[in-house]
């Protein structure tokens, strides 16, 4: 039998190529957001709601402000005047994901960085502590006192659409975010001509991205330039950037700092 | 504040620390050894695993003052003279990592397992790694990498070879 030289392509396709980024990751030289330490860096910690739906009856930050190392404690009401608008939705259904099949009825409720008077999901931020160390920031959130008047909760998608269901965002009048119909080709004809038609209702689970690297953000203000540099443990740096005020952000991908690595995934978008 | 003295990657280090300071933050923030990562702060994920006096420990669950007098090895202490440690080389060759965040802990847990003399059958390695999470879903190649490195390391140093193969239930 004639010996055939192995095709050149085998070196790459199916060839088990060693990754260029591995040596630094294997030797502890990886650089993640938590590895960034800046001179004078301050730490934020967040008081989060333990209940899914409630009005905030009382929110007392006085004791927390007295603790060592605490520079400030803010509630949503106190910060409200600083915010020009609610946070943008990074993935509005329709116009970005499926440009050919937009939904015209998509409704996005206002989403504020810190709750203003009412919490609408468990874990919603109700107060922010600024402190000079991780430990002082963690201590101070324990000293913030919050009283919640609990409201009815909605934990099932279909129940949420029932008449009389507790409406979570009053301004929308109902809990329906949108109806998103998708089709491709002549669907009616295909069903009409199909030898068997199976009808079923499918449920999609809630998606919870849960990378091992905790969520983290480091921000370095550069007041003289009216800019800031932001390092974020995100898989989607460019999408994230489009959500920030574009004139006031500088990501400086290769000058000074390298962009941190991200454990969230390996395909920045 | 308490004064502690310990050896980290062969270098003697002394410092005044708060009694509540965790070993992982002593390594990361006092010594600047940021290769050891914090994934959960609750002993669940194992990203912070280091070697302490020859055993793998989760450094988020050890106080710095408890490490007084100890010998610590972190991921930064494995490679020498520009040569990767056999475990690092094996992780690289077997593609035992993607994002790299769990990797330092996986390697140190693997080192603890190999040095404990535990059996290296696939099931035994998997059980030995039960305290370490990978969120890129790479266990297959991590297990392969540790098995391969174990073969190489035990061949090179037969003195450290198997004691009765009690299966270790994860790093301590």
Q: Which residue of A has its CA nearest to B102?
A: A212
Of A49-53, A97-101, A202-206, A229-233, the one with minimum mean pLDDT is A97-101
Crossing angle of helices B86-93 and B103-115, in 10° steps, is: 120
Quick: pLDDT tens for A200-232.
999 888 887 778 998 888 988 888 877 778 888
Residue B82: its pLDDT value, please? Answer: 87
CB contact under 8 A, B100 and A26: yes
- B54 and B99 in a single domain? The answer is no
Contacts with A211 from chain B: Cβ below 8 Å:
99, 101, 135
CB contact under 8 A, B37 and A26: no
- DSSP line for B23-87: HHHIIIIIS--TTS--S-SSSSS-TTEEEETTEEEEGGGSBGGGGTT-EEE-GGGT-BTTBPPHH
For residue B150, the enclosing domain spans: 86-160
Residue A268: its pLDDT value, please? Answer: 41
Q: Which residue of B has its CA nearest to A264?
A: B99
- B135 and B95 in a single domain? The answer is yes
- B152 and B125 in a single domain? The answer is yes
Number of structural domains in chain B? 2
Q: What is the ipTM of this complex?
A: 0.90
CB contact under 8 A, A214 and B40: yes
Q: Is residue B121 part of a domain?
A: yes
In the beta sheet, which residues pair with residue B7?
Answer: B12, B71
CATH of the domain at B94: 1.10.150.120
Dihedral sign (CA B92, B89, B36, B138): positive
Of A147-151, A253-257, B3-7, B16-20, the one with minimum mean pLDDT is A253-257
Q: Which residue of B has its CA nearest to A26?
A: B88
Q: Mutation test of the interface with chain B: which of A19, A23, A25, A266, choosing the one with the most B Cβ atoms within 10 A?
A: A25
- B53 and B107 in a single domain? The answer is no
Indicate the pLDDT class of residue B54, thresholds 50, 70 and 90. Answer: very high
Regarding predicted confidence, which is higher, B60 or A92? B60
B91 vs B97: CA distance, rounded Å: 7
Residue finishing a domain among B23, B54, B76: B76
Question: Could you tell me whether strands B71-73 and B2-8 are parallel, antiparallel, or unpaired per DSSP bridges?
Answer: parallel
DSSP A249: B
Q: Are A143 and A62 in contact (CB under 8 A)?
A: no
Residue finishing a domain among B43, B76, B109: B76
A153 vs B57: CA distance, rounded Å: 42
Residue B121: its pLDDT value, please? Answer: 97
What mean pLDDT do residues A107-113 have?
Answer: 87
CB contact under 8 A, B102 and A212: yes
- Chain A, chain B: beta-carbon pairs less than 8 Å apart: 93
- What average pLDDT is seen over chain A? 83
CB contact under 8 A, A212 and B39: yes
- B51 and B91 in a single domain? The answer is no
Instruction: Compute the residue count for chain A.
Output: 269
- B67 and B47 in a single domain? The answer is yes
Residue finishing a domain among B44, B76, B108: B76
Q: Are B17 and B64 in contact (CB under 8 A)?
A: yes
DSSP A165: P
Domain ranges of chain A: 1-30+209-269, 38-178
pLDDT above 70 (res A253): no
Contacts with B33 from chain A: Cβ below 8 Å:
28
Quick: pLDDT tens for B85-134.
999 999 999 999 999 999 999 999 999 999 999 999 999 999 999 999 99
Domain A38-178 has CATH 3.90.1170.50: yes
CB contact under 8 A, B36 and A28: yes
Query: What's the gap in Å between the CA of B159 and the closest CA on chain A?
Result: 26
Residue A99: its pLDDT value, please? Answer: 55
Contacts with B134 from chain A: Cβ below 8 Å:
212
Q: Is residue B165 part of a domain?
A: no
Q: Is residue B81 part of a domain?
A: no
Identify the H or E element spanning A74: strand A70-75
Least Cα distance to B46 among B117, B104, B116 occurs for B104
B168 vs B129: CA distance, rounded Å: 9
Report how far apart, in Å, the C-alpha atoms of A67 and of each of A40, A72, A137, B102 are: 19, 10, 10, 35
Contacts with B88 from chain A: Cβ below 8 Å:
26-27
pLDDT above 50 (res A254): no
B106 vs A200: CA distance, rounded Å: 44
- B125 and B151 in a single domain? The answer is yes
CATH of the domain at B29: 3.10.20.30
């Amino acid at each position: 039998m004639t010996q055939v030289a192995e095709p050149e392509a085998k070196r790459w396709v199916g060839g088990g190529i060693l990754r260029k980024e591995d040596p630094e990751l294997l030797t502890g030289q990886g650089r993640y957001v938590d590895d960034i330490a800046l001179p004078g860096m301050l730490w934020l910690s967040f008081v989060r709601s333990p209940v899914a739906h409630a009005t905030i009856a009382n929110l007392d930050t006085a004791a927390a402000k007295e603790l060592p190392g605490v520079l400030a404690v803010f509630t949503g009401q106190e910060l409200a005047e600083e915010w020009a608008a609610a946070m943008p939705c990074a993935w509005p259904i329709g116009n970005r994901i499926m440009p050919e099949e937009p939904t015209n009825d998509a409704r996005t409720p206002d989403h504020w960085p810190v709750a203003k008077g009412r919490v609408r999901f468990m874990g919603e931020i109700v107060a922010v502590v600024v402190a000079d160390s991780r430990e002082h920031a963690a201590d101070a959130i324990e000293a913030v006192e919050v009283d919640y008047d609990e409201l009815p909760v909605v934990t099932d998608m279909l129940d949420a659409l029932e008449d009389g269901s507790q409406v979570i965002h009053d301004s929308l009048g109902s809990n329906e975010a949108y109806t998103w119909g998708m089709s491709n080709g002549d669907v009616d004809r295909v069903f009409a001509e199909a030898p068997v038609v199976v009808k079923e209702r499918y449920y999609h689970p809630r998606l919870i991205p849960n990378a091992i690297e905790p969520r983290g953000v480091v921000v370095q203000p550069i007041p003289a330039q009216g800019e800031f540099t932001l390092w974020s443990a995100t898989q989607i740096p460019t999408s994230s950037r489009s959500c920030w005020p574009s004139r006031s952000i500088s990501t400086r991908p290769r000058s000074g700092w390298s962009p941190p690595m991200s454990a969230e995934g390996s395909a920045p978008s | 504040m308490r004064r502690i003295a310990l050896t980290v990657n062969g270098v003697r280090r002394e410092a005044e620390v708060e009694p509540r300071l965790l070993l992982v933050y002593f390594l990361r923030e006092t010594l600047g050894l940021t290769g050891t990562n914090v994934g959960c702060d609750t002993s669940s994920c194992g990203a912070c695993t280091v070697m302490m006096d020859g055993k793998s420990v989760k450094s988020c669950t050890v106080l710095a003052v408890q490490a007084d007098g100890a010998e610590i090895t972190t991921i930064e202490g494995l490679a020498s003279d520009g040569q990767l440690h056999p475990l690092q080389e094996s992780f690289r060759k077997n593609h035992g990592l993607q994002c790299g965040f769990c990797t330092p802990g996986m390697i140190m847990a693997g080192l603890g397992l190999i040095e404990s003399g535990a059996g290296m059958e696939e099931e035994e390695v998997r059980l030995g790694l039960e305290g370490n999470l990978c969120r890129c879903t790479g266990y297959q190649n991590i297990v392969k990498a540790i098995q391969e490195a174990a073969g190489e390391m035990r061949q090179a140093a037969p003195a450290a070879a198997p004691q009765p193969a009690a299966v270790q239930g994860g790093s301590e």
